[in-house]
Structure 1
Amino acid sequence: MSDKPICRICGGALREFLDLGPQPMGNAFVPPDKRDDEAFAFRFRLAVAMCEACTMVQLIDYVQHDQMFHSAYPYRSSGSSVMRAHFEDLAGRFLSEELTGSDPFIVELGSNDGIMLHTIAKAGVRHLGVEPCGDVAEVGRSNGIRVVNEFFDEDLAARILADDGKADVVFAANTFSHIDFLDSILRGIKNLLAPGGVFVFEDPYFGDIVQRASFDQIYDEHIFFFTARSVQDMAARYGLELVDVELLPVHGGELRCVLAHTGARPVSPAVTELLKQEEEQGLTDSATLTRFADGVRELGENLVARLRELRDQGKRVVGYGATAKSTTLLNYCGITPDLVSFICDSTAEKQGRLTPGTLIPIESPEAFADPYPDYALLLAWNHKDEILEKEAAFREAGGRWIHYVPDVRID
């Protein structure tokens, strides 16, 4: 019997194209007194492959979902003003376009701190957040959101259906790509969705990752990387149809997909157009994937060389944004405190801890200006405009930013 890895969607053969080496969990920030604790020594091989049959891009090895998403999960969606505006706008669209019946109902998978459902709740619309991380689910409840503290699957969908009836909208942001049991989720959504309802999800877009060489979008939580082609194939296997797509600028480039029951809605021209773009980009070609992997290696080497040069010149470099993405970058490149002295981050739950694997201290944003460093490595590059505006005084004081997406440069 073959022990070769197979596609989690269709069972096809996987073609590996990138190996980022042994990596810790992206959000496993380490308390200083536990830096030698075996619980934080966990590593897995972060390797990416494309299915030769359905073209779904996915991790070959992955971390169990209950290891990643737990009561101490540190990410808060409302921590960014850009994301707050993004979800408020989306909630308004749902209210005006989809939740217009006599008693509409929306379910959000991975509702986090309730940033999107808060607008829905204020409008008096029936809703349910499904959030497996206890602490963050409690934040949502304190904001007036109805939340169930579980992972969504076929069984929970049946219970929601029995208690609340069919859903007009099922929504997931930066959640759907995180779970390995998509088969159970999709069967649950199929059963829960009203005849004219929609399943809307937004997750990192593989086309943007390739175009921008943003390999740090690859970490333990991102098990799948979607394209219009792979989502179209996946949806059809569960009696659903990809009826609309939209490319989003948030989180460094995401794809919003709209799925409906097969034949229930017309397919938007945007689907055909994106499929054509992906074909022209050659996203499934071996040569494209090889160029991407080569570019990742070159980018990593260039960044480390620049940081070592600054260190040898006696320059002080700090990081900005202790993100899950930065865990991949720091560990792949071997960036440790001798190159980046600390990282500042606005999330209180991360402050005072150390970065996974590389053990760089995490400080509050106030430490950034006490005093300003010579250079700042912009790790939270997907919030570039927001951060540069907030920290304008850094550049005015003579500080310079180090960027690495899509290439290494200093400004």
Structure 2
Amino acid sequence: MSMCRICGGSVKEFLDFGRQPVSDAFLAPGDVDGEFLFRLAVGFCTTCTMVQQLEEVPRERMFPQDYPYRSSGSTAMRSHFEQAARHFLGTQLTGPDPFAVEIGSNDGIMLRTIQEAGVRHLGVDPAQSAAEGAAAQGIRVRTEFFEASSAAAIRASDGPADLIYSANTISHIAYADSVFAGAATLLAPDGIFVFEDRYLGDIVEHTYFDQIYDEHFYLYAVRSVQAMVARFGFELVDVEHLPVHGGSLRYTTARAGERQPTPAVAEWLAREETQGLADISSYEKFAAATRAVCADLVELLTSLRAEGKRVVGYGATAKSATVANYCGLGPELIPYVCDSTLEKQGRLTPGSHIPVRPPAAFSDPYPDYAVLFAWTHAEEIIAKEQAFRDAGGKWIVYVPDVHLL
């Protein structure tokens, strides 16, 4: 067994996705030799119950200066972050001179609303291209990784933070001890550290296996987060379920003893007990369901190819790397995938080397079927591409099982 990165307990492996690429490392055609690969395997800590990867990818490989993901690329996510910012402006950021820090601020979509409200703020993100986009909008950004040393520097220059916020970032960071040490240094005595991440309970219940890729080092549940933050002097004081990314939880933490936990914490712990999230057998069943979905998807795509049907991919997402490489999907089954991110167009998907084309290619002409890799934005995409269905096209979705829309 491996050792838990949080508590030092034993981690029991339950699913091995084999050799995988860095999920957002899109390749230039002809530049596929020497591609970095790692073993993507996940396990369950038998002590603190944290689900985690067994092999860490160097952070500079996952989040280089030209990291292509942009939070503002989705209408739904823009709305989500605006609502989050307005919530904090009406609750935590109401003092005489409040200060908000966002870890993994990306292109500044959340901080933009806080900046427009005239509130002191700072984004921390290692991706220079994304940080430059935020800075161009007047948002203050430090282009670096958040850890104990950077937090101390921020405290020295800007003072304590009333709010430290992070969305879909804290679970990416294997060195949780340094992150929480930094939060302890930077946070005001009555401040809150709030982070959102994909919820393990939703992943297990709906077989969202593609939510497991290099960036998601930890898969959080309420019980494991409660145990994790307690090790670093924090207390979980509130939990809120969010619809984004197929189901996420917003965890609100504070210094231990500073705030009374809401009833939601106990309610979610009880729900997880019923679901069996502290039982290794639940993850073994999840692994079996994952293998079945992969087999069914390959069988469907192979059958459609034999029938002469045209199938393409929609959304060159990070999570599609897990699906394509674990299931062995390449250009012979999916000749190209359409994506609106300019930085990905004209390149090849990591590992599977499927060409990425702009959205205009989707209707030129429409395919018979499209694999909806960006299923977390299904409602938005299907409404946008109604002409595809009107032309007789069908969407292929593989969670929680393989089916057509």
Whether 1:7 aligns to 2:4 is yes
Task: Identify the residue that residue 298 of structure 1 maps to in structure 2.
Answer: 292
Whether 1:255 aligns to 2:249 is yes
CA distance in 1, matches of 2:72, 2:325: 27
| Count of equivalent residues | 405
Task: Spell out, residue by residue over 1:238-269, the C-alpha distance to the aligned partner (whole angstroms, 9 max, x if none).
Answer: 11000001111101111110000111111011
CA distance in 1, matches of 2:77, 2:260: 30
Whether 1:381 aligns to 2:375 is yes
Q: Which amino acid aligns with 1:389?
A: A
Whether 1:273 aligns to 2:277 is no
- How far 1:66 moved relative to its partner? 1.1
What does 1:214-363 align with in structure 2 at a 5 Å threshold?
214-363=208-357
CA distance in 1, matches of 2:337, 2:245: 19
Q: Which amino acid aligns with 1:26?
A: S
Whether 1:58 aligns to 2:55 is no
CA distance in 1, matches of 2:378, 2:314: 10
Task: Identify the residue that residue 150 of structure 1 maps to in structure 2.
Answer: 144
CA distance in 1, matches of 2:78, 2:303: 38
Task: Identify the residue that residue 31 of structure 2 maps to in structure 1.
Answer: 34
Q: Which amino acid aligns with 2:299?
A: A
CA distance in 2, matches of 1:79, 1:337: 26
- Match of 2:347, SS? coil
Task: Identify the residue that residue 384 of structure 2 maps to in structure 1.
Answer: 390
- Match of 1:366, SS? helix
CA distance in 1, matches of 2:374, 2:278: 28
- Match of 2:346, SS? coil
What does 1:126-205 align with in structure 2 at a 5 Å threshold?
126-205=120-199
CA distance in 2, matches of 1:338, 1:33: 17
Unaligned regions of 5+ residues in structure 2, if any? none
Whether 1:405 aligns to 2:393 is no
CA distance in 2, matches of 1:231, 1:285: 16
- Match of 1:33, SS? coil
Match of 2:68 among 74, 77, 86: 74
CA distance in 1, matches of 2:325, 2:167: 26
- How far 1:191 moved relative to its partner? 1.6
Task: Spell out, residue by residue over 1:98-138, the C-alpha distance to the aligned partner (whole angstroms, 9 max, x if none).
Answer: 10000000000000000000000000000000010111110
Higher mean Cα deviation, 173-182 or 83-92? 173-182
Q: Which amino acid aligns with 1:7?
A: C
CA distance in 2, matches of 1:250, 1:214: 13
- TM-score for both structures, normalised by structure 1: 0.98
What does 1:365-376 align with in structure 2 at a 5 Å threshold?
365-376=359-370
Identity of aligned residues (%): 58
* Displacement over 4 Å in runs of 4+: none
Task: Spell out, residue by residue over 1:271-313, the C-alpha distance to the aligned partner (whole angstroms, 9 max, x if none).
Answer: 1000000000001212211110100000000000000000000
Q: Which amino acid aligns with 1:375?
A: Y
Task: Spell out, residue by residue over 1:55-87, the C-alpha distance to the aligned partner (whole angstroms, 9 max, x if none).
Answer: 111000020111111111000000000000000
Whether 1:87 aligns to 2:81 is yes
CA distance in 1, matches of 2:21, 2:185: 36
CA distance in 2, matches of 1:334, 1:67: 23
CA distance in 2, matches of 1:338, 1:99: 53
Contact 1:65 1:180 in 2 (8 A): no
Task: Spell out, residue by residue over 1:21-44, the C-alpha distance to the aligned partner (whole angstroms, 9 max, x if none).
Answer: 110110111101313x31xx2111
- Match of 1:256, SS? strand
Task: Spell out, residue by residue over 1:153-203, the C-alpha distance to the aligned partner (whole angstroms, 9 max, x if none).
Answer: 111111111111110000011110111111011011012111111000001
Task: Spell out, residue by residue over 1:331-355, the C-alpha distance to the aligned partner (whole angstroms, 9 max, x if none).
Answer: 0000011111110000000000011
Contact 2:44 2:280 in 1 (8 A): no
CA distance in 1, matches of 2:185, 2:348: 43
Task: Identify the residue that residue 13 of structure 2 maps to in structure 1.
Answer: 16
CA distance in 1, matches of 2:367, 2:141: 43
Q: Which amino acid aligns with 1:5?
A: S
CA distance in 2, matches of 1:371, 1:168: 53
Whether 1:25 aligns to 2:22 is yes
CA distance in 2, matches of 1:170, 1:147: 14
Contact 1:213 1:405 in 2 (8 A): yes
- Match of 2:95, SS? coil
Contact 2:14 2:284 in 1 (8 A): yes
Q: Which amino acid aligns with 1:32?
A: P
CA distance in 2, matches of 1:298, 1:382: 21
Task: Identify the residue that residue 43 of structure 2 maps to in structure 1.
Answer: 49
CA distance in 2, matches of 1:99, 1:47: 40
